[in-house]
Chains A and B, each alone.
Chain A
């Protein structure tokens, strides 16, 4: 395995949690809900995945625990913002802070333990392809799920009736309600999906990226995922591309240090946000693109008036 291949492998590993969390948040936001608690849901997924893996010895149980933890945590967000109509921004921020705190508490006894790494699954035949094979077809289950989710979400949002309803709710929840679409119910499902994806992203951190528990190990990836959704202008394929771009940037910090390049790591870690700001400026210049891609009712609370 050459140095380039090794670097690319780390890029894939760094990008996967970003793609996962962002694709989940993309669905949530397409339904018009802004959940800023991605970081909190992610870290809950990470700690629960690690704990469950230690308890059962199976990282696959850990994956389920991570998904469940993220989803459960998002349910709390859903209850507060959708049922009780609390402010989404404040609730999301609270969710992040709460998640970081609770996960630290749960994981206290597990700090320093060596974990179980999720084994890679080689796809027969394809994994033999030189260069590309080990990179794409000799990966762990979560990587495959992340790719499948991007394809699946893209198909679901733009080719199915249920996806159309989600986009309709995100665009104009009043009209969607008038048409008899269950706005609150659909939003709950979208929030749950976002939480499950963030939880899975967390599981990837504690089972693949660094198979151990470290407090605050999500290290701002939830925020990058949020930025990534905007960067991708709410389009699934762009989440995939942007996720790998952001992943490469974050990995380049390490390699830049290792290679002794004189680029400050702070600059590199700021790059994803700079890129997002640039994209935001670009799309806000184009009224048509904003109208068509941005969920117009994003972050607005919905109270049925009948």
Chain B
């Protein structure tokens, strides 16, 4: 730690005014960041706050639009990951870039320069993994390893370069608590050697436990730089989600309508080792309401969407009700026929077939629910292209979809425009129930507000809308009711006006059921 004291004036890495534009959308906007030698520095922020974009620029994966990066006091331009490695920056990605068909030693060898013979790589890797408490068998095939073991390979791979700065992108999101504890010990060892760690996370408790300093990002901008140990979870959450609460638009009508969508003690076991199981989820959405489900990614949102939409059915027929009819065992088409509409999270390949035209995509989604309008010829099911084209044009106009040509392929549209089309495709049916997962994920601000307005309008016209989102701004803009999902459990449903961002932030960070944390949040408010 003496290293840190000696050179505290000259940071290891200094970032000034770094900006990255994607089109007109600023993923990072004038970021300043200093990392001192021998510190564990947290980069905090919600999903989409620009954390990943920032570190990709630091690691040479993305080129910054403008701004300056200095390494040990000298201005550098990091053109590629190998340039970053040469400087002494190592990175452990959230999604591992490992080769499943190769062995652990071979995977490690690939990221080294050619000077070390292949046979020696296994030895060095074994030495390092022992020294840092990262047990690994160099001869094992990656295909046979667990996620935690795969992460260890990535860390050893980064360490073999002898880096001064190691960037970890959401390292604990895939780990068990025990594996996470083990990882923290490795990080402390690295810090004791005078190396720096840039630790990206949205888990407040973790950051407070292990990090010396924190930089908080929100909407591509730095909203705070602090010592997380001196902050409360509530103050960190406020920096993360923003203190400027916009006025909640009164989306719904004041009188509650009938319950149109309901889940009763919905349980769904996890389908894969990495999926989340839903535990006893109960919710009710009345006509005229927008219920927003907040939560950190990977806490059961996609599983909840699957269960409610019927992509995966559940054993209990009465666990899901649409317009008061039990549909738990019914598939997606049956639920659509009851007047429900669904917009899944993934635009490309899930909500739309990218290689097919918009009108073809329209027929794919609505060929059962709008059978009479779109299909003719009785059992033959001949597509009435004139009717489909007209409907497609109507949707494009209603949602202001900018596209080249009358009926281009879905893949040729920008993300925002395709999302507008997909949402519009459901809205066009005036569904009684609409379930949307991440309606504005990766969508530019203009398209996002258009989509949100459409959701609010739908609720106003008497439908029940359920929005699953990680964007608190969005939630406060559209929701009349809010619930938070964490580890497959849904919190109580609160009226949106009765919830503070801090409280949602804390519920999201997994502090649910810890009353003192919530009281603390209330005090900070």
Contact with B along A57-80 (1 / 0, CB 8 A): 000000000000000000000000
CA A296 – CA B97 in complex, angstroms?
14
CA A117 – CA B133 in complex, angstroms?
65
Main secondary structure of the interface of B (DSSP, over half): loop
Residues of B within 8 A of A164 (CB): 102, 106, 109-110, 118
| Known contacts A161-B118, A180-B81, A288-B144: A168-B110 contact under CB 8 Å | yes
| Known contacts A161-B118, A168-B110, A181-B110: A293-B101 contact under CB 8 Å | yes
**Contact between B101 and A292 (Cβ–Cβ < 8 Å)?**
yes
**Contact between A291 and B110 (Cβ–Cβ < 8 Å)?**
no
Main secondary structure of the interface of A (DSSP, over half): helix
**Contact between A291 and B143 (Cβ–Cβ < 8 Å)?**
yes
**Contact between A296 and B110 (Cβ–Cβ < 8 Å)?**
no
Contact count A vs B, C-beta below 8 Å: 64
**Contact between A179 and B101 (Cβ–Cβ < 8 Å)?**
no
State which size class the interface on A falls in.
20 to 34
CA A296 – CA B101 in complex, angstroms?
8
CA A167 – CA B101 in complex, angstroms?
8
A175 at the binding interface (Cβ < 8 Å): yes
CA A159 – CA B101 in complex, angstroms?
15
**Contact between B99 and A171 (Cβ–Cβ < 8 Å)?**
yes
Least distance between B24 CB and chain A CB atoms (Å): 20
Residues of A within 8 A of B62 (CB): 306
CA A178 – CA B80 in complex, angstroms?
9
Residues of A within 8 A of B109 (CB): 161, 164
Of A175, A176, A178, the residue contacting B61 (CB under 8 A) is: A178
Contact with B along A144-168 (1 / 0, CB 8 A): 0000000000000001110011011
Smallest Cβ-Cβ distance to B80: which chain A residue: A180
B346 at the binding interface (Cβ < 8 Å): no
Contact with A along B80-104 (1 / 0, CB 8 A): 1110000000000000011111100
| Known contacts A178-B81, A179-B81: A172-B97 contact under CB 8 Å | yes
B253 at the binding interface (Cβ < 8 Å): no
**Contact between A179 and B110 (Cβ–Cβ < 8 Å)?**
yes
CA A296 – CA B98 in complex, angstroms?
12
**Contact between A161 and B114 (Cβ–Cβ < 8 Å)?**
yes
Residues of B within 8 A of A293 (CB): 101
A174 at the binding interface (Cβ < 8 Å): yes
Residues of A within 8 A of B114 (CB): 161
Of A161, A175, A294, the residue contacting B99 (CB under 8 A) is: A175
Residues of A within 8 A of B100 (CB): 171-172, 291-292, 296
**Contact between B101 and A291 (Cβ–Cβ < 8 Å)?**
yes
Residues of B within 8 A of A161 (CB): 109, 114, 118
Residues of B within 8 A of A167 (CB): 99, 101-102, 106
B461 at the binding interface (Cβ < 8 Å): no
Name the interface residues of A267-297: CB closer than 8 Å to any CB of B. Answer: 288, 291-296
B317 at the binding interface (Cβ < 8 Å): no
Residues of A within 8 A of B61 (CB): 178, 306
B141 at the binding interface (Cβ < 8 Å): yes
A-B contact pairs, 20 of them (CB 8 A): A159-B118, A160-B118, A164-B106, A164-B118, A167-B101, A167-B102, A168-B99, A168-B106, A168-B110, A170-B101, A171-B99, A172-B98, A175-B98, A179-B97, A180-B80, A180-B82, A181-B110, A291-B101, A292-B141, A294-B101
Besides A164-B106, A170-B101, A179-B111, 13 more A-B contacts (Cβ < 8 Å) are A161-B109, A161-B114, A164-B110, A168-B106, A171-B101, A174-B97, A178-B61, A179-B97, A180-B81, A181-B110, A288-B141, A294-B101, A295-B101
Could you tell me which B residues sit within 8 Å of A by CB distance? 61-63, 80-82, 97-102, 106, 109-111, 114, 118, 141, 143-144
Could you tell me which A residues sit within 8 Å of B by CB distance? 159-161, 164-165, 167-168, 170-172, 174-176, 178-181, 288, 291-296, 306
Report the 6 A-B pairs with minimum CB-CB distance, sorted nearest first.
A175-B97, A291-B143, A180-B82, A171-B101, A171-B99, A168-B99
